[in-house]
Amino acid sequence: MQRLANKRIVLGITGGVAAYKSADLVRRLQDQGAEVRVVMTRGSQQFITPLTLQALSGNPVSTDLLDPAAEAAMGHIELARWADLVMVAPATADFMARLAHGHAGDLLTTLCLATEARLVLAPAMNQAMWRNPATQRNRELLGERGVELLGPGDGVQACGDMGPGRMLEVVDLVDGVCGLLPSLLLAGKRVLITAGPTREALDPVRYLSNHSSGKMGYALAEAARQAGAEVVVVSGPVSLGCATAIRRIDVDSALSMYDAVHREVADADLFIACAAVADYRPATVQPHKIKKDAAVQEDSLQLSLVRNPDIVASVAALAARPFVVGFAAETRDVVGYAADKRVRKGLDLIVANDVAAQGIGFNSDENAVTVLGKGLEQSFAQASKSVLARSLIELFARQMGSNQN
Ligand code: C5P
């Protein structure tokens, strides 16, 4: 079986002696069914020629950001969008440093910055350079942003040193890539996700809301897209962008989120309710700005609130329903409350997170969660929301699959 059938891989080659292995890497990726396009830095061309890579990949090799002919054929942004995965092998210490700090001074760094595809590096460098705290910090920074590192391996180096820094062997790199693209687990599936907060209007200028940033929902949307799904996000007001391939429906109140979800849900296979929906809304929205009444000198104002519909429970109650996943933000007895919520709302899975814990949850870039289902309790350690989202999507896809069996 070809494990990379129809996958589009951009292979970036930077200037290290391990570049000679990249020629074989192209072939072995192709053996698994991948289409490969090669981008070379100036340094890499001292080790291996573009002509070799062009002949092996069957595609023109891109080397220059400012080459009008190459840009006319497939420009760097087009290449960034084309890729399902961008792999840089070998990745030198210099390349890692430039990538970690967002440089875009050549074609490869620009492409890495512009792509929304999975980014994988195979570091290759002298052992002392690898161990250097600067490189280690760059490795951490890249990891935090969801960049995957394959290797380096340990052993004898081209310079005669022994230690970590060798580029992994080609077969291990191919294996690693296959593992990272665990086929398109959601290919052909439609995923509907709610994300962000809702705003419940009091009058034309004021509203009730919460601190949800939408980051977890958007990370899930991106992970679902990368897993091959057609994704629709029903989003409360957030300051986030998403890939053009994701259809985004902007809403504000819980009622408008409810309506949008029910318009979209009919052909969804998976519904993920990640939004922090306000439980209550003002009973009436005043047509004009509520005034402080100077004559009466009231020190308090009574608001009357009414219950909002529970969107995720209403989807779970549909006769023809998708696989339904909810979230539970709790501050104590996280697993206990979440388990109860899952049953009460009729959900297939619930993702529980402790919003009282430092550095995770609302508004943070990281999260740590426990997923509960019937006979399932799986915890995921603290990680960036994008890394976590990939693991969650993988779990949801597998659970959906076993549900159908
Ligand atoms: O009951 P609670 O708000 O804690 O439940 C959280 C889960 O329910 C989340 O998945 C959230 O998106 C969903 N929810 C909803 N509609 C509501 C309230 C919560 O879909 N009105």
- pLDDT tens digits, 137-158: 999 999 888 899 999 999 888 8
Range(s) for CATH 3.40.50.1950 in the chain? 8-180
| Average pLDDT of the segment spanning 374-385 | 90
Q: Of 234, 235, 236, which Cα lies nearest the Cα of 201?
A: 236
Least confident of 56-65, 96-105, 117-126, 197-206: 56-65
State how beta strands 349-354 and 366-373 pair: antiparallel
Ligand 1: centre distance to CA 279 (Å): 8
Q: Of 313, 304, 309, 355, which Cα lies nearest the Cα of 331?
A: 355
How far apart, in Å, are the Cα atoms of 388 and each of 2, 99, 144, 353? 27, 22, 11, 12
How far apart, in Å, are the Cα atoms of 357 and each of 25, 150, 210, 334, 404? 44, 31, 17, 11, 36
Q: What pLDDT does residue 294 have?
A: 59
Least confident of 181-195, 248-262, 344-358: 181-195
Cα separation of 271 and 181, whole Å?
Answer: 22
Ligand 1: centre distance to CA 225 (Å): 23
Tokens read off for 319: 């006769």
State how beta strands 207-208 and 200-201 pair: antiparallel
Q: Which atom of ligand 1 is nearest the CA belonging to 194? A: 12
Q: Is 44 in the pocket of ligand 1 (CB under 6 A)?
A: no
| Average pLDDT of the segment spanning 354-376 | 84
According to DSSP, residue 182 is labeled: -
Tell which one of 264, 311, 392 to mutate to probe ligand 1, the residue whose CB is within 8 A of the most ligand atoms. 311
Whether 234 and 251 have beta carbons less than 8 Å apart is answered as yes
Tell which one of 193, 274, 310, 372 to mutate to probe ligand 1, the residue whose CB is within 8 A of the most ligand atoms. 310
Q: What pLDDT does residue 320 have?
A: 95
Tell which one of 306, 327, 371 to mutate to probe ligand 1, the residue whose CB is within 8 A of the most ligand atoms. 327
60 has a pLDDT exceeding 60:
yes
Higher-pLDDT residue of 388, 232: 232
Q: What pLDDT does residue 204 have?
A: 96
Whether 120 and 147 have beta carbons less than 8 Å apart is answered as yes
CATH topology of domain 190-290+297-404: Rossmann fold (3.40.50)
Range(s) for CATH 3.40.50.10300 in the chain? 190-290+297-404
Q: Which atom of ligand 1 is nearest the CA belonging to 313? A: 20
8-180: CATH superfamily: Flavin prenyltransferase-like (3.40.50.1950)
The one-letter amino acid at 66: L
| Average pLDDT of the segment spanning 49-56 | 96
Torsion over CA: 278, 282, 287, 290 (sign) = negative
Q: What pLDDT does residue 361 have?
A: 62
Q: From atom 4 of ligand 1, which residue's Cα is the shortest distance away?
A: 328
Q: Is 275 in the pocket of ligand 1 (CB under 6 A)?
A: yes
Q: What percent of the chain has pLDDT over 90?
A: 71
Ligand 1: centre distance to CA 238 (Å): 18
> How far is residue 154 CA from its own chain's centroid?
30
Q: What pLDDT does residue 64 have?
A: 85
100 has a pLDDT exceeding 80:
yes
Q: Is 192 in the pocket of ligand 1 (CB under 6 A)?
A: no
Q: Of 356, 361, 337, which Cα lies nearest the Cα of 274?
A: 361
Mean pLDDT of the chain: 91
Most confident among 210-214, 289-293, 385-389 (mean pLDDT):
210-214
Q: Which atom of ligand 1 is nearest the CA belonging to 315? A: 20
Q: Which atom of ligand 1 is nearest the CA belonging to 254? A: 21
According to DSSP, residue 301 is labeled: -
Q: 328-353: per-residue pLDDT in tens? A: 998 899 999 999 999 999 999 999 99
Long-range pairs of 244-251 with CB within 8 A, sequence gap ≥ 24: 246/221, 246/222, 251/198
Q: Is 393 in the pocket of ligand 1 (CB under 6 A)?
A: no
Q: What percent of the chain has pLDDT over 70?
A: 96
Residues with a known catalytic role: 159
Q: Is 147 in the pocket of ligand 1 (CB under 6 A)?
A: no
| Average pLDDT of the segment spanning 224-228 | 86
Q: Where are the alpha helices (DSSP H) in 265-349?
A: 311-316, 334-345
Q: Is 311 in the pocket of ligand 1 (CB under 6 A)?
A: yes
Report residue 166: phi and psi, to 5°.
-75, 140
Q: What pLDDT does residue 68 have?
A: 73
| Average pLDDT of the segment spanning 52-71 | 86
Ligand 1: centre distance to CA 183 (Å): 31
pTM above 0.85, yes or no: no
Q: Is 273 in the pocket of ligand 1 (CB under 6 A)?
A: yes
> How far is residue 1 CA from its own chain's centroid?
27
Q: What pLDDT does residue 183 have?
A: 60
